[in-house]
Amino acid sequence: MPELPEVETVRRGLEQKLNNYIINKVKVCRDSTVAFPTNKEEFIQGLRNSLLYKWDRRGKYLIAQLKKIENENIQYPQKKSSTNNGFLIVHLRMTGYFKFIKNSTPPCKHTRIRFFDKNNNELRYIDVRSFGQMWWIKQELSPNRIIKGLGSLGPEPFSKEFNTKYLKKVISKRTKSIKAILLDQTIVAGIGNIYADESLYSAGISPFREAHTIKKNELIKLKESIKTVLKKSIGSGGTTFSDFRDLEGENGNFGLQTNVYRRTGKECRKCGNLIERQKITGRSTHWCPKCQK
Ligand SMILES: [Zn+2]
């Protein structure tokens, strides 16, 4: 599943590619991809003549701010000629990705939603396993209320709120493993299996440790490790994820090597001991028993 660095990479790509992109037409190829409004016609009509004004990210959610363009002939919409039209929100889940196609071509069978501008340039959403979702939240509604997963997100790893004091507070009475804590989106937003394993390795903390047993100096290290690991991956385009695709539909170049994730049975880069794997709350967990205590 794409995690924070991959979703951030997608966000940057969309922002770069979709310069002044105004949705002229929407085609829904699979109804279940539209999570809200429940009536897909409302989704289609609501998004028409919307400028994809600004792309944000919160956790693993992509959030496009929309402006309704009243006069389609205006080439460079100013604030005067447009009004806010709510948000287009996307969660890629397991296998969702966007592809930008200049002069639209016939879609592949995994195409779920297609957006077109008036010059027939297509922003295509493809999703093999179809767990991804999209919401159009009109201006009068609150995204955080309608999308429960979004409203309940914990702080962003790069925010001020994500500090040692906060971490200490949330883990103090928890007997769950620290790995499960890191995967909990209500505690910290955007971390999934890859970056939880990599951060714990980098901090030298065993993924099996009960969260409340982790000491303050270890928490400081963990917090820093999370930031460093995520930052490094964003810098390399979030390419540790094997199914990840950029807007040209290309698979990433795997520029970033992992230390433990999917390295079961290989030598630890620090101590030479073999990397092990075991499930924690249903998720494959990779770690070095010698380096992580
Ligand atoms: Zn080791």
Has 176 been annotated as catalytic? no
pLDDT for 70 equals: 80
Helix extents (H) in the chain: 4-17, 40-47, 143-146, 148-151, 164-171, 178-183, 193-203, 216-235
Domains of the chain listed by start with CATH number: 4-151 (3.20.190.10), 164-287 (1.10.8.50)
pLDDT for 82 equals: 77
Cβ < 5 A residues, ion ligand 1: 268, 270-271, 273, 288, 290-291
Counting as low any pLDDT under 70, the low residues of the chain are 71-81, 238-246, 248-256
| pLDDT tens digits along 96-155 | 999 999 999 999 999 999 999 999 999 999 999 999 999 999 999 999 999 999 999 999
The rounded Cα 76 to chain-centroid distance in angstroms is: 30
**Cβ atoms < 10 Å from Cβ of 129:** 11
Distance (Å, whole) CA 110 – CA 57: 24
Cα–ligand 1 centroid distance for 198 (angstroms): 12
Cα–ligand 1 centroid distance for 287 (angstroms): 8
| pLDDT tens digits along 206-229 | 999 999 999 999 999 999 999 999
Has 2 been annotated as catalytic? yes
Average pLDDT, the chain: 92
pLDDT for 154 equals: 98
> With b meaning 16 or more CB within 10 Å and e meaning fewer, what string describes 35-57?
bbbeebeebbebbebbbbbebeb
Strand 111-116 relative to strand 96-101: parallel, antiparallel, unpaired? unpaired
pLDDT for 77 equals: 52
pLDDT for 1 equals: 79
Given 11, 60, 114, 263, which residue is catalytic? 60
Tokens representing residue 22 in the block:
């105004």
Helix extents (H) in 101-163: 143-146, 148-151
